[in-house]
Structure 1
Amino acid sequence: MKRIVMTGGGTSGHVTPNIALFPVLKRLGFEIHYIGTRNGIERGLIEREGIPYHIISAGKLRRYLDMKNVYDAFRVMKGFVEAVSIIRKIKPNVVFSKGGFVSSPVVWAASVNRIPVIIHESDYTPGLANKISMPFAKKICYTFPETKQYIPDDKGILTGIPVRESLLKGSREKGLGICGFIENKPVIVVIGGSQGSKVLNDSIRHNLDFILKKFQVCHICGRGGVDKSLEKVRGYKQFEYINEDLSHIFAMADLVVSRAGATTIFELLALRKPNLLIPLSKKASRGDQILNANSFKKQGFSHVLMEEDLNDENFLNSLYKAYSNRRTMIEAMRSSDISNGIEKIIEVIQWATENR
């Protein structure tokens, strides 16, 4: 039996694309193993899928000077030693890395053991973990056409992001039932990412009275983000996180308001959901979400409101404008030749397995 070790963590965006590949890999006869951290978000998501989960230590990789870098360097080295041991025990045919700080020790361990490595980069520009892993990879799958300039010519393959099959099978009727919404009023779905977003949460709640005059709102607000004082507001439903029912929530959405993480926006593209993106500012990130959002805006898939320009007036104006232009966005998505990345990525994995 062919074996594959997969890795990636820190945020759901480094995990859910891996999960999207599971059904096809299983049908092709792969035995799947996953390497992650003890307390990372990836553990719960992967164990829920019934995939063997192996734990290593990991330290955060930083682009700036910090005394914590010294301590985390030891954790990274410990993780590398643990990953070497795990890979020698599993003896995989290939390693597939989605990025995040847990992934680098796994990539290095695979290289030491002469196991071919495939890396997938979701964002417009490669993250630090993927940057330092690239020399050890046989092929690097990437998502945005513009990303080609950051990838070695002999390794890069434009694949897009794998989107979970289950997301494409949602029911609007079931989504409305889950939220207790009525049929004849449009629905906005708000997604703040796996960690939630105080900025998005506050923007929605500050303007909730105005928004509810025209829309119903399903608000996925992140861990600890539920406002109990609003639990009985008609037409407004809050969730910390949604997994199994996410397909139904997306199916009922007439407009999605979201951060601009690559996994989420490519899911919106696959589902042809018009959206308003509010990317993380450069103050809180390396700026990848801004690049992601601008790429989608340029292609006509999204409306974009920068966090620096976010206030109540701009938010409401952008919300109404995006909803008014929803059909234009849907048509642009229908005309796009960017497709679900599962098929292309599986081809790369099989190629690496057969050409060790």
Structure 2
Amino acid sequence: MKTIMFTGGGSAGHVTVNLALIPRFLEEGWTVQYIGSENGIERKLIASVPEVKYFPISTGKLRRYMDIQNVKDPFKVVKGLYQAYRLIKTNKPNVIFSKGGFVSVPVVIGAWLNKVPLLIHESDLTPGLANRISIPFASGVCTTFPETGDMLRGGKSRHVGAVIREEVKQGNADRGRTFCGFTRSKPVILIMGGSLGARKINQTVRHALTRLSKSYQIVHLCGKNQVDPSITMTGYKQFEYVNEQLPDVLAMTDVVVSRAGSNSIYEFLALKKPMLLIPLTKEQSRGDQILNAQSFEKLGYCNVLYEEKLTADTLIQGVERLYDNREAFVERMSLSEDTDASAAVFEWINEIARK
């Protein structure tokens, strides 16, 4: 029986690809394990798959700014590296698959020290900091955007496309309307700022609610601790985060307002949902979401509203423009290449394990 270890965390985006792949390995009889942080979102998400053994390790965040935690975190990383090394040595996986995020770095190095082959997945157009550190230790890198391979040397990369969770494609619009208490009388907007939320987007949406609700029903995924219980408007439903019901919510959705994380926007593309993307600014990130959004905009899959220009008025104008032109967006998205990235990754992992 073969064993695979997954790693990745810090945000839902660093877990969803793993969640999409895990069922295939379980069906094929692999033993599946997961190394993640002690209290990160990955632990909660992986708990939904009871067949997977979860191993928590100490982690430190890779920050690009000054913070007192930068002094403490190197010690956490060293502890996590030791824990990962011991777990890998004890469990002897055939291969390790890393989705990235700061939790993955100790696991990647632990794999290299144990001479266990490792495959990395990069969702964004440009590799993140954790993956840039990890790539030299990896056997290969799966890329989502075809342009990413041009930035990676050594022939390690292979363009596989976007790994999409199968359950996302199986939503039911009627179940979604029942879940949210919506009707067929108005179109539905899904607004989401990522699993960690987006304060600026949330505030702007609430300022625009009265006007938006005249024409649309709104599902608002606000992020942890960012729901405003004082708002009880008809046709407006807010949640911190939606997991099991997300496919149904997406099925009833007409247009999406979202950050530009790669996993999410490729799922919207697969479902042919017109998008208004509000990427994280360069002050908030390394600029990867800006590049993701620009790539999709160039292909005609979305409109982009930069956060620096985000107001209640520009949000409403952006939503109205998107909705009015939704059929053209759907038509262009229908022409996109439909690849089975999950199968491509599964085959590559098998190839590595056989070697």
Same fold (TM over 0.5): yes
Matching of residue 193 in structure 1 with residue 194 in structure 2:
yes
After superposition, residues 196-215 of structure 1 pair within 5 angstroms as 196-215=197-216
CA distance in 2: counterparts of 1:64 and 1:178, whole angstroms: 41
Return 198-207 or 331-340, whichever deviates more. Answer: 331-340
Q: Which residue of 1 aligns with 2:238?
A: 238
Q: Mean alpha-carbon deviation: is it higher for 5-14 or for 75-84?
A: 75-84
Go from structure 1 to structure 2 and tell me whether the alpha carbon gap of 1:78 and 1:280 turns closer, same or farther (over 3 Å shift).
Answer: same
SS in 1 for 2:230: helix
Q: 1:62 corresponds to which residue?
A: 63
- 1:327-342 to structure 2, matched below 5 A, reads 327-342=327-342
Give the Cα–Cα distance (whole angstroms) in 2 for the partners of residues 66 and 150 of structure 1.
30
2:302 maps to what in 1? 302
CA-CA distance at 1:149 after TM superposition: 2.2
The separation in 1 between residues aligned to 2:73 and 2:202, in whole angstroms, is 32
Q: Deviations over 1:253-291 (max 9, x none)?
A: 000110111111111111111111001111111111111
Offset at residue 15 of structure 1 (A) = 0.4
CA RMSD of aligned residues (A): 1.3
CA deviation after TM superposition for structure 1 residue 181, in Å: 0.8
Q: CA deviation at 1:189?
A: 0.7
Structure 1 residues 222-263: Cα deviation after superposition (integer angstroms, max 9, x where no partner): 1112111212x1111111111110000000000011011111
Provide the rounded CA distance (Å) in 2 between the counterparts of 1:338 and 1:288.
Answer: 23
Normalization by structure 2: what TM-score?
A: 0.97
**CA distance in structure 2 between the aligned counterparts of 1:294 and 1:103, rounded to whole angstroms:** 28
Corresponding residue number in structure 1 for 2:313: 313
Q: Which amino acid aligns with 2:37?
A: T
* Distance in 2 separating the partners of 1:158 and 1:18: 17
Tell me the residue number matched to 1:247.
247
Asked if 1:167 corresponds to 2:163, the answer is no
Say which SS state the counterpart of residue 229 (structure 1) adopts: coil
Residue 341 of structure 1 deviates from its aligned partner by: 2.1
Query: Where does residue 133 of structure 1 map in the other structure?
Result: 134
SS state of the match for residue 21, structure 1? helix
Q: Secondary structure at the match of 2:301?
A: coil
Following the alignment from structure 1 to structure 2, what is the Cα–Cα distance between the partners of residues 152 and 268?
30
SS at 2:237 equivalent: strand
Structure 1 residues 201 and 5: alpha-carbon distance in aligned structure 2, compared to 1, 3 A threshold: same
Question: 1:105 — aligned with what?
Answer: 106
Following superposition, the deviation at residue 316 of structure 1 comes to 1.2
* Letter of the 1:222 counterpart: G
* Maintained 8 Å contact 1:203/1:312: yes
Gaps of 5+ in 2: none
- Divergent runs of 4+, >4 A: 64-67
- Relative to structure 1, is the Cα distance of residues 251 and 340 closer, same or farther in structure 2, using a 3 angstrom cutoff? farther
CA deviations over 1:127-162 (Å, ceiling 9, x no partner): 111001101111100111221222124101111231
CA distance in 2, matches of 1:328, 1:68: 48
1:324 pairs with 2:308: no
Q: In the TM superposition, what are the counterparts of 1:66-85 in structure 2 within 5 Å?
A: 68-85=69-86
Query: 1:182 aligns to what SS in structure 2?
Result: coil
Q: What is the aligned length?
A: 354
- SS for the counterpart of 1:107 is helix
Letter in 2 for 1:4: I
What is the CA–CA distance in structure 1 between the aligned matches of 2:190 and 2:69, rounded to whole Å? 38
SS at match of 2:149: helix
CA contact (8 A) 2:205 2:312 kept: no
TM-score, reference length from structure 1: 0.97
Maintained 8 Å contact 1:7/1:35: yes
Structure 1: which 5+ runs fail to align? none
Residues 1:222 and 2:223 are matched in the alignment: yes
Counterparts of 1:30 and 1:44 in 2: how far apart (Å)? Answer: 22
1:272 — aligned with what? 272
Are the equivalent residues in 1 in contact too, given 2:4–2:30 (CA < 8 A)?
A: yes
Between 330-339 and 31-40, report the one with greater CA deviation. 330-339
TM-superposition CA deviations, 1:61-119 (whole Å, max 9, x none): 23456554342112111111100110111110000000000101101111111110000
Structure 2 CA distance for aligned equivalents of residues 4 and 318 of structure 1: 44
Structure-2 separation of matches of 1:258 and 1:340: 24
CA contact (8 A) 2:221 2:242 kept: yes
| Inter-partner Cα distance in structure 2 for 1:202 and 1:64 | 25
Distance 2:43 2:54 in 1: 7
Deviation for aligned residue 1:206 = 0.5
| Distance (Å, rounded) in 2 between the aligned partners of 1:234 and 1:320 | 20
**Corresponding residue of 1:180:** 181
Displacement after TM superposition at 1:332 (Å): 1.4
Paired residue secondary structure (1:148): helix
Shift of residue 175, structure 1, vs aligned partner: 0.4
CA distance in 2, matches of 1:208, 1:66: 36
Paired amino acid for 2:121: H
What is the rounded CA distance, in whole Å, between the counterparts of 2:339 and 2:250 in structure 1? 18
Amino acid at match of 1:138: S
Moved more, 251-260 or 23-32: 23-32
SS of structure 2 residue aligned to 1:207: helix
Q: Mean Cα displacement is larger for which, 111-120 or 325-334?
A: 325-334
